A = this chain, B = another copy of it.
Amino acid sequence: MTQLIQAKEGIITEEMREVAINEKVEAEVIREGVAEGRIVIPANINRKDREYMGIGSGLRTKVNASMGASLDYPDMECEKEKLQAALDAGADAIMDLSTGGDIDQIRKNTLEIANVPVGTVPIYQAGIKSIDKYGSVVEMEPEDIFNEIEKQAKAGVDFMAIHCGMTLEVLARLKNEGRFTDVVSRGGGFLTGWMLHHQKENPLYTQYDRVLEIAKKYDVTLSLGDGIRPGAVVDSLDRAQVQGLLISGELVQRARKAGVQAMVEGPGHVPLHHIETTIQVQKELCHNAPFFVLGMLVTDVAAGYDHIVAAIGGAKSTWAGADFVCYVTPAEHLGLPNTEDIKRGVIAARIATHAGDIAKYGERISKSDLKMTQARVKEDWQTEAKLAINQEKVLAKKKLNEETEIRIMNDKAEPMKIVAEYL
C-alpha cells in the first residue's frame, strides 16, 4: 500500500502526520495533496528508522544534495564525509549518484547514515555494469535496467530518477530543431545512445508498467528524469524539452492511476525570464506533479560560482512553484565536488529556497527573518547565530570582533544608535 493509495482511500498515515507536523498544517491537507498527486512523500516501505519529508504544493521547498563515488574517486570514507557535510548543512534529501567504487555498499551506507529521503539513478549502476560486462553502455540489456531498479527498490531507496520519458519522439524533435548541447543528462545520454544504437524505443517507456509495478511494491517515488533538459541557457524551452514534458505528463497520469507517487524533473540551464514559463508549462502539462528542478542555472559564464548562479535560479523557481531544488556546487562544470563544495552548495540552495519561499508563502516563512531582525536591532549575537542559515560564520566573526575589541561600527557614528536616542 503506497502513500498515494492510502491517501486516495482517505487514510491518514503516520508518515503524513509527521509531514503535517513539520509543515505546521493539518494532516488532512497532506492527505489530500498526496491523494491528488500534488504532494509526494518519498518513503520506501523497506526503509526504517528515518524521518519523513513531503515535497509539493503548499509545503516548504526542499533541497536535494547529490553526490557519489566515481571511477576516479571510488573512496568510501570520502563519500561518508561528503554525506555528513550535506546533512550538517541542512540538505532535505540526498541522491547517491555513485558510478565507481563499491556502489552497493556506498548506497547501503547512505541509507543507514542519512535520516532524510534518499534517491538514486539506477541506470547509472546498470550502465557501469554494462561497460564491465559488454564493454559499452549501449550494449546494456533492458533486463539489466529492471533488475537494477528492483534491487535498489528492495534495498530501501525512497525515490528514483528514471528517464522513462526519453523517447524516439523526443529525439526526433531534438534532431529536427537542432540544439547546441544535444543531451547533457547522463541517464538521458545512456538511453539516447541505446535507442540510436539499437534503433529501438526506450525500454523504460515501452515497459513503463514494469517500472510502476516495482515502484508500487516498495512505494518508491518516481522522479521522472528530464533526460532531454537543455545544457545551456541558449537551448532553453526548445521543442525537444517541451516534448519531453508532454510525455512526462502522460507518465504522471499513469503513475497516479497505478497508485505510484511521481514527481517530474526539470532543467537545468534556464535564463531568468524563462523560469516562470518553464514551471507553469510543467505544472499544467503534468497536472501539478511536484517539480524537481536542477539549479536552475541562469547563466553559463560563471564556472566556479555555479552555486551562486543556481541560487539566483533556485530562488526564482521556488517562487514560481518549484517544489524540490537540487543544489549545484561551485565545482559544477569543472570537476567533482569536495566536502567544502558540497557544504557551500547546500547552503546556497537553502538560501535560495528560503528567499523563494518568502515570496511564495509570505509571512508564514518570513517569521525567521523577523526574529533575526529583532535580534539585530538588539545586537543579540547569540540569537542571530541561532537563527542564521549557518551559524559558524556569525560565531567566528563575533569571536574575531571580541578578540580584537573591534565593534562593527564606531559607536558615535552608528546611525541606529544616533536615531534610537531620539525616536
Contact = CB atoms under 8 A, between A and B. Distances in A.
A131 to B, nearest CB: 5
A393 interface: yes
Given A193-B422, A316-B272, A358 B184 contact: no
A369 B72 contact: no
Question: What's the interface size class on A, roughly?
Answer: 35 or more
A421 B255 CA distance: 34
A355 interface: yes
Interface in A194-209: 196-197
User: Which secondary structure dominates chain A's binding surface?
Assistant: helix
B305 A407 contact: no
Interface in A364-399: 366, 368-370, 372-374, 376-377, 384, 387-390, 392-394, 397-398
Interface stretch (A107-115, A212-220, A412-420): A412-420
B315 A298 contact: yes
Contacts of A416: 181-184, 189, 231
A272 B419 contact: no
A369 B334 contact: no
Interface stretch (A19-27, A32-40, A344-352): A344-352
Q: A384, A400, A418, A423 — which one has the most chain B CB atoms within 10 A of its CB? A: A418
Contacts of A138: 418
Given A366-B233, A410-B99, A393 B305 contact: yes
Nearest to A235: B373
A394 B298 contact: no
Contact of A305 (B235, B351, B408): B351
Contact of A390 (B305, B319, B359, B410): B305
A314 to B, nearest CB: 8
A325 to B, nearest CB: 13
Interface in A104-155: 124, 127-128, 131, 136-138
Nearest to A183: B419
Nearest to A358: B271
Given A311-B311, A372-B300, A175 B423 contact: yes
Contact of A315 (B128, B185, B272, B376): B272
B70 A333 contact: no
Given A70-B410, A272-B316, A347-B305, A369 B415 contact: no
Contacts of A181: 373, 376-377, 416
Contacts of A232: 369-370, 372-373, 376
Contacts of A211: none
Contacts of A355: 271-272, 298-299, 309, 312-313
A116 to B, nearest CB: 21
Given A184-B416, A410-B72, A301 B372 contact: yes
A278 interface: no
Contacts of A419: 182-183, 189, 192-193, 196
A302 B351 CA distance: 7
A225 to B, nearest CB: 12
Given A181-B377, A185-B415, A190-B415, 19 more contacts: A70-B410, A72-B410, A100-B410, A128-B413, A175-B423, A182-B419, A190-B418, A231-B373, A232-B369, A298-B358, A299-B355, A300-B376, A303-B388, A303-B393, A305-B389, A312-B316, A333-B376, A334-B393, A336-B408
5 closest pairs, A vs B, by CB?
A189-B415, A304-B393, A193-B418, A196-B422, A273-B359
29 contacts: A72-B407, A99-B410, A124-B413, A131-B413, A175-B423, A183-B419, A184-B416, A187-B415, A189-B415, A189-B416, A190-B413, A197-B422, A231-B373, A232-B370, A233-B369, A235-B373, A298-B315, A299-B369, A300-B373, A301-B387, A302-B390, A303-B384, A303-B394, A304-B390, A304-B393, A305-B347, A305-B389, A308-B348, A312-B351
